[in-house]
Amino acid sequence: MVVKRSMVQRALNALNIALLGRGEVKEVFSEDDVNVIAVIGAGMRGTPGIAAKVFGAVASNGINVRMIAQGSSELNISFVVKENESQEAVRVVHSAFELGKH
């Protein structure tokens, strides 16, 4: 899950209380050096290969995806990368879809 940096400790405390005592989860931890990248567009719905193109572009540039989420509407794909790789991730996705060209 992704939470605002200022809320990390509060979220960790709540998760520890809710999950650790049940024996279902061994450890709860956080990473504070990540960013969420969202790819959004109406043309994504029902178009095969969008996710492959996004993640192929990111992976081919040596960027590791830490987490992936897609909404049921198929209008967005969000993924998490290390903060220091986020600008490059945005750049390569823009390049893969030729965004910003007129």
| Per-residue pLDDT tens digits for 41-70 | 888 888 899 999 999 999 999 999 999 998
Residue 76: closest CA among 42, 102, 48: 42
What would you report as the CA-atom Rg of the chain, rounded to the nearest whole angstrom?
A: 16
By three-state DSSP, how is residue 14 classified? helix
Asked whether the predicted pLDDT for residue 17 surpasses 90, the reply is no
Range of the domain at 51: 33-102
Residues 80, 57 share a domain:
yes
**Paired tokens of 81:** 């990368």
**pTM score, whole prediction:** 0.83
Contact present, 33 and 86 (Cβ < 8 Å): no
Residues 81, 46 share a domain:
yes
The pLDDT confidence band at residue 102, using thresholds 50, 70 and 90, is: low
Averaged pLDDT, 26-45: 90
Residues 70, 23 share a domain:
no
